[in-house]
A and B are shown apart, each in its own frame.
Chain A
C-alpha cells in the first residue's frame, strides 16, 4: 500500500490525535513509533499500518519513509529529534511538518532552509495549536496594520473539575518551565528567568489566570517574518490553572522531572520519563471538560493611528475526543496543515512557519469544522 502520510511519533498523544484525524478523513497513514500497543484500535483501520521507527537512526527512518511512498511526513515526536526527522525527510525526498521546536531547535531547523529549497520540499515548523494556530491568527491580524510594534501571545486553559490531568507532554512542560524564556525586547532577543510571573489577565471562555513567561518558537519566527513591519517586542505567556500549575511545580521541586538516571533493582530509570508515563495514565472522569484559549494581542498603528487587535481561538473538549481534552487542538491542527499541504493549499518551499505560508481563511474553516472557533476582538470570524 502507498501512503498519503507518514506520522512519526504516532503512538504518542499528539501523534495519535493527528493520525486519527487523517484516518477519519480517509487518508492512508503509516503510523510510526515505538509502542504499537497504544494505537491498536487505529490499526484495525484498513488505511493504517504500523512501522517501528527510531529517529536516532536517520538512514533507517529515511528508508521507511521512502518505502511508504508518502510525500509528506508529520513529525509528532519530542522536539529533541526534529533535526533527525528533517534529515531523514531530505534523504527520502519528503515534505516535513512538526509541532514546534521552541527557540533553540527552531533556529537550528531554519538552517535546513537552502537544502529543502533545492529539493523543492516544504518544511513547515510548528503546526499545532501554539505554535500553529497562534501564528496564523497573528498573520491574519497583522494584515490590518501598517506598523506592528509589539505582540503578546500565549495560551490559557482551565477545566470544569479541579483535578490534575496532564495538559500536554510532561517533557515539553518541564522544558518550558525550566529553560530561561527568550523574549524579543526592542528588536533584540533577551533571556529572562524561566517561568517568571507576568501578572493576571482574563481570557475568553477561561476566566482570570496568572501568566508565566516561557520559551516558545513564535518569538523567533514572528521576528523573522514581521520585523519588516517594525516589530520590536514579543512576549510568550503560559496560563495554567492553579490546580495544574501547583502539581507541576511540586513535581519539579521534588525531583520528578530530573533527567539524571537512577539505579533501581538493577535497572536504570530516568525520573522525567517515568513520571511522564505515570501522569499519562491518570484516568479522566467522563464529566471532565477543558476549555483552552489560544490568544494573541497585536499592538501597532494603522493609517497613522494606534491600533490593537485581539485574536482568540477557543477550543473545548470535543465530543468523541474527550480523552484528549482541549489538547485536540495540537494534533488535529497538525493534521489540518498536513492535509492542506497534501491538497496543494500550501505551496511554499524551504523551511517556513505557518504565519508565512498557511492561507488563513481555508485554515480557519478547517478549524471551525473541528469545533475550534477563531475570534477577532471578541467576535467570531465568519468564513
Chain B
C-alpha cells in the first residue's frame, strides 16, 4: 500500500520544526516546499523519506504543480497566502492545514467550506499552539458546562535561556505576524458582540502557575476569536498574550510614531528584518498556554482552568506550534475521521488523542493544576 505523503510549505523556523517532528513520528513521505531548493536542503538531515520541491506561494501555478501527489499540506508560510494555498489544494485534491489566519483571514477562509466539502477534502484552520492548542483546551473545558459565559485565553512564557547576543525585537515567531498582531485592533467577544479594542491594550499583571509566574498579558488580534464564540456558544471570549516589557515598549514606540501604520508596515518590516538575531548559548524556556472557562454547571456558577505546559531544555519553544500541526496532519492522512469541509480545531480534533500526542512530546495537559495527560 502506498505510504501517505505530507507536504510542508515553507522552511522557516516553524516549518523546520514541523519537518523535524514528522521525521521523528510519521511513517510516510515528507515533501518540503519552498522557493530555494538548495537552501532548504541544507536545513535538514538526509532521509529517504524526505523530499524537496520548488514552490512559490506568490505564484499559484508553481504551487499547484508542487502539491501534486501530496495527501495533505501544512501551510507554514505567512497567513496572507492562506486562501491562495487553499485554492491550489482544491485543484490538486490535497487536504489543508494551517497555523492561523489572524482572525480576518480565518473568517474569509470559511467561505471555502462548501468547495472543500464537495471535493471531499478537509481543511483545518489554526492548528498550532495559539490558535490550535488553545481552541482544543477551550472545547475540552466547555464540555463540562451547560452554559459557557467566559473563555479567557492567556499565554505566558518564562525565558531562562542564556544569550550571547539578544535582539531588541526578539520574538518566538514570525516578525510580520507579531507586528500585525500589535498594530491591528484586537477582537474581543463581549456580551455576545464582537468589539475591537486598541491593539496591545488591556495589559494586566497576571500570575501564571510556576515557573512562569507574574506576567503582563495583553489583547492582540487572534484567530480563536473568529470561531470560539460561535462553536462554544460563549458569551465572552478574549485572547491575551504576555510579551517581555522591552518588546512591548519597542513596539509601542513604533506604533506611536506611525511606523506600524498599514502604509508603512512593509518597509518597517524590511528594516526590522535586518536586525541581528538573538544568539542563545543555552535554551531554557517554559510556556503555559492557559484557558479558563467559566459558566453554569447544574445551575451553579463554576470554572475550570486548563493548561498545556511546555518546558523546553535545549530546544526551541516554537515546538508547541509545530507539534500540533504535525499531530493533526498525521491524523488526517491516516483517515482517523471521516468528514470534509473547513473546520476550526475545536470542531474536528479528537481531544484525548491529541492530548496524548502532546504528552508524548513532553507537553503536559493540566486541569485546575492537576496533570491529566
Contacts and interface: CB of A to CB of B under 8 A. Distances in A.
Tier of interface size on chain A: 20 to 34
Interface stretch (B65-73, B126-134, B249-257, B280-288): B249-257
A256 B250 CA distance: 12
Contacts of B250: 250, 254
A163 interface: yes
A246 interface: yes
Contacts of B115: none
Interface in B141-186: 168-169
A254 B168 CA distance: 7
Contacts, number: 56
Given A250-B249, A265-B266, 20 more contacts: A163-B256, A164-B253, A164-B257, A247-B257, A250-B168, A253-B168, A254-B168, A254-B169, A254-B254, A254-B275, A255-B271, A258-B271, A260-B274, A262-B267, A264-B270, A271-B271, A274-B271, A275-B271, A278-B259, A282-B258
Contacts of A265: 266
Nearest to B256: A164
A274 B275 contact: no
Interface string A208-251: 00000000000000000000000000000000000000110011
Nearest to B268: A256
B257 A246 contact: no
Contacts of A163: 256
A274 B267 contact: yes
B272 interface: yes
A265 B274 CA distance: 16
A281 B263 CA distance: 13
Contact of A275 (B249, B259, B266, B270): B259
* Binding site secondary structure of chain A: mixed
A269 interface: yes
Nearest to A246: B253
Given A253-B168, A254-B168, A255-B274, A269 B267 contact: yes
B24 interface: no
22 contacts: A163-B256, A164-B256, A164-B257, A250-B168, A250-B249, A250-B250, A250-B253, A253-B168, A254-B168, A254-B250, A254-B254, A255-B275, A256-B271, A262-B274, A269-B270, A271-B271, A274-B271, A275-B259, A278-B258, A278-B264, A281-B258, A282-B258
A260 B270 CA distance: 12
B257 A254 contact: no
A255 B169 CA distance: 11
A105 interface: no
Nearest to A163: B256
A278 B257 contact: yes
A282 B274 contact: no
A101 B52 CA distance: 57
A281 B168 CA distance: 25
A279 interface: yes
Nearest to A281: B258
